[in-house]
Structure 1
Amino acid sequence: MTDPMDEVIATLRDHPDGPQRLLITGWFSFEDGEVTAGDVLALRAAQEALTRAGIVHDTAWSAGFRADALHLDAAEPDEYGHLLFVCGPLHGEQIKALHRRYARCRRLAVDVSVVDPDAPEVAGFDLVVARDGVGRPRADLSVRAPLGPPPPVVGVVLTGGQGEYGAARRHEAVGALLERWVGGRDCARVPAETRLDSGDWRLCATPEQFLALVGGWDLVLTTRLHGLVLSLRAGVPVLAVDPVAGGAKVSAQARALRWPATLTADTVCERLLDRWWAWCLSPAGRDAARRRARLMGPGV
């Protein structure tokens, strides 16, 4: 496969004044755009190629996604000789506005989809290296991007019901804490339900389906009794929090199954969550979960 960035770099080097400071933009730069995994991987591939070529560059991010990064409104056009748009469709008012703001820059686009080759969004670029829409299709830049080590996959199984516990319910406060805390962890989060539904494709229809889902996770974070029990049956470490003041059925099951990574609504805090998270993902935590699975009988 030829690298689409080769053509971009060759064009930058052919500039009469040589490569100039470059601003990388994309749909990840717009306040009303979106940031996808593919966009970010394509961006990484472009950044790596530019760095290898010795071309100085900055990247503009949406403030809604990266509050601490460079944003378009702070990326002054006079500071750049070139603009590179990476990934996504060349269509819409955001692209037109980009052309207007950076009219003095030499503008290039790579790894883009061209819907209408004659559209002003397309014609405004000095070079378009398309992945589709014109010419032969090219492999997306995301396939070339460098990757870090994969983070753990964490199933998040929470409950907001259980009105039978009345004034002892702490479900809302516990749920808000767990959602905020797990949102700050480097992990792939998978929200899931133990509730079955044969008519809703988003839910499992059988216990076997749910256990198959759990078996693909590295850890489960749950406030549900069966989130605890079924995770251990699948041999997956579980960080359980009993959302009832004083402890109720989640705590009782943890005692019955001798599972230590369990907190109560009265004791849960980020420090203890961090501690048990580390233990669950350690060899000791994984071994403990597998031992519980063997004691509970055959799995699925």
Structure 2
Amino acid sequence: MTTPRRILLTGWFSFLDGEATAGDVLALARTEEVLGRAGLAYDVVWSPGFRPRALHLEGVRAERYSHLVFVCGPLHGPQIEELHRRFAHCVRVAVGTSVPDPAAPAVTGFHRVLARDAPGVTPTTDLAARAPAAPARPVAGVILTHGQHEYGPRRRHDRVAEQVTRWMAGKDCARLELETRLDTRDWRLCATPAQLAAVLSRLDVVVTDRLHGLVLALRAGTPALAVDPVEGGAKVTAQALACGWPALLSADEAGPEGLERWWGWCLGAGREAARRTRDRFAGDGVQDAVDGLLPALDGRQSTAYG
């Protein structure tokens, strides 16, 4: 093989109708690490559906490259075969790939195939396993509602959900959509409060416009960034007040500036504040409405509230 002049890194993450999986992107990072240490020049080509502003196959000048490397995934199909035709002048190498059919044109078109698994070959560890480690990202549970029609014209639920989710899409965090509704038949939902508590206790923050999203997060010792989706404030605001929890925004305040401010607080001082609230809930110093239930049953209260 010739000494590389410039290498084009490709994979299933390069095709318009391909996909970028976490494993593929980590495998790419491992490959970039090896090439970078060797001082070799390379470019990465991405699907425009995944990275619109990156280098795409349709914009690649094939003559600039002496080598093409296909990273990870299975070697099969017309898209890989087209790479062989378009980059016929290049030395073509597949690395960390699976080989379903060694005789397929997508496979035989490569000069070398450094497979992770293939018929009759001892498998090797996937490239993602040794990819460079990245700093840990916060894990955010997201609990939103589009219901609560009892608030009539004061409802701002759809607007709040759109603002919050658009903002969260730009956050460098792991997002986990959650639901407080329990279901014993749907495997995607928790069947008991304890199951949901197990999830909430492992999160870094909960972003919610639900009363129980707020209360259950704090009960688990996890800071909650709460938004009241009702104009003028309603039960979420009331509960934040009852819990002494400051990370609350009104529907009109739920823009990027307010969300960023309380996000930073929740991931900082809010961690300890949430733990204190959890401990307070578990103690004897918190009163709730059921404390007045027995006297009410005894008929000693004559007012509707209090």
**Structure 1 residue runs of 4 or more that deviate by more than 3 Å after TM superposition:** none
1:266 aligns with 2:252: yes
* Code of the aligned partner of 1:54: G
* Code of the aligned partner of 1:278: G
Residues of 1 paired with 2:210 and 2:87: CA distance? 53
Question: What residue in structure 2 maps to residue 6 of structure 1?
Answer: none
Question: What residue in structure 2 maps to residue 195 of structure 1?
Answer: 181
- The correspondence for 1:295, drawn from 277, 280, 295, is 280
Residues of 2 paired with 1:276 and 1:101: CA distance? 51
Aligned residue for 2:51, secondary structure, equals coil
- The correspondence for 1:216, drawn from 202, 214, 237, is 202
RMSD: 0.9
1:278 aligns with 2:264: yes
1:237 aligns with 2:230: no
- The question of whether the paired residues in 2 share the 8 Å contact of 1:24 and 1:58 is answered with yes
- Could you list the per-position Cα deviations for residues 8-33 of structure 1 after superposition, in whole angstroms to 9, with x for gaps in the alignment? xxxxxx42xx2221000000101100
Question: What residue in structure 2 maps to residue 159 of structure 1?
Answer: 145
Residue identity over aligned pairs, in percent, reads: 58
Aligned residue for 1:107, secondary structure, equals strand
- The correspondence for 1:252, drawn from 219, 223, 238, is 238
- The correspondence for 1:125, drawn from 89, 110, 131, is 110
Count of residue correspondences:
282
* Code of the aligned partner of 2:189: L
Residues of 2 paired with 1:173 and 1:157: CA distance? 15
- Could you list the per-position Cα deviations for residues 245-281 of structure 1 after superposition, in whole angstroms to 9, with x for gaps in the alignment? 1111101100000100011112221101100000000
Aligned residue for 2:221, secondary structure, equals coil
Aligned residue for 1:266, secondary structure, equals helix
TM-score of the two chains, using structure 2 as the length reference? 0.91
Shift of 1:55: 1.2
Shift of 1:67: 1.3
Structure 2: segments with no counterpart, 5+ residues: 284-306
Residues of 2 paired with 1:31 and 1:84: CA distance? 18
Residues of 2 paired with 1:52 and 1:30: CA distance? 27
Shift of 1:104: 1.4
- The question of whether the paired residues in 1 share the 8 Å contact of 2:164 and 2:254 is answered with no
Shift of 1:69: 1.1
- The correspondence for 2:158, drawn from 143, 153, 172, is 172
1:19 aligns with 2:15: no
TM-score of the two chains, using structure 1 as the length reference? 0.92
Shift of 1:224: 0.6
Tell which structure's C-alpha radius of gyration is larger: 2
Aligned residue for 1:108, secondary structure, equals strand
- The question of whether the paired residues in 2 share the 8 Å contact of 1:181 and 1:270 is answered with yes
Task: Tell which deviates more after alignment, 262-271 or 218-227.
Answer: 262-271
- Could you list the per-position Cα deviations for residues 89-131 of structure 1 after superposition, in whole angstroms to 9, with x for gaps in the alignment? 0011211121121111111100000000000000000000110
- Could you list the per-position Cα deviations for residues 152-172 of structure 1 after superposition, in whole angstroms to 9, with x for gaps in the alignment? 000001101111111111111
* Code of the aligned partner of 2:42: H
Aligned ranges 1:74-153 → 2 under 5 Å: 74-134=59-119, 135-153=121-139
Residues of 2 paired with 1:32 and 1:260: CA distance? 45
Structure 1: segments with no counterpart, 5+ residues: 1-13
Residues of 1 paired with 2:107 and 2:56: CA distance? 23
Question: What residue in structure 1 maps to residue 294 of structure 2?
Answer: none
